[in-house]
Amino acid sequence: DEGIGILKFLKHKVFLVTGATGFLGKVLIEKILRASPEVYKIYILIKAPNRETAANRLQNEIINTQLFDKLKEIHGNSFQAFISEKLVPIVGNVCESNLGLDEDEAASMATEVDVIINSAANTSFDER
């Protein structure tokens, strides 16, 4: 039984996820990777000054969380290779035009990405 066909739809898709370091974003990414490991790639838009910092945030704030323990159990020794193949940190900011991406990066993403999931939020609750 394939239900409404979500898993079939997810297969081989390229995603762009914003807000991935937040609670909902982490849960979403883990669920996609666990339920549909055949997803092609998930670009993770991370607010950071450079790629190295974005990669560190991806590792420390998402991958190294307890939420990913089940995936670690499923993939065993190949977990890090699986994650490296599927999750790609992208330096950006949802508050900037083109998500803070340069023109070439934005154009490349526009042709490659199949699904955009925006779970970004303003966490400064005193702002209006």
DSSP code, position 124? -
Per-residue pLDDT in tens (0 to 9) along the chain, 128 residues:
566 788 888 899 999 999 999 999 999 999 999 999 999 999 999 999 999 999 999 999 999 999 999 999 999 999 999 999 999 999 999 888 889 898 998 899 899 999 999 988 766 666 65
- Is the residue at 125 inside a domain? no
Counted domains in the chain: 1
- Is the residue at 127 inside a domain? no
Length of the chain in terms of residues written: 128
pTM of the model: 0.88
Give the dihedral sign, CA 26/113/94/6. Answer: negative
CA 24/CA 119 separation, integer angstroms: 7
Domain hosting residue 16, numbered range? 11-50+58-118
Q: What is the CATH number of the domain that holds 71?
A: 3.40.50.720
Are 30 and 71 within 8 A, CB to CB?
yes
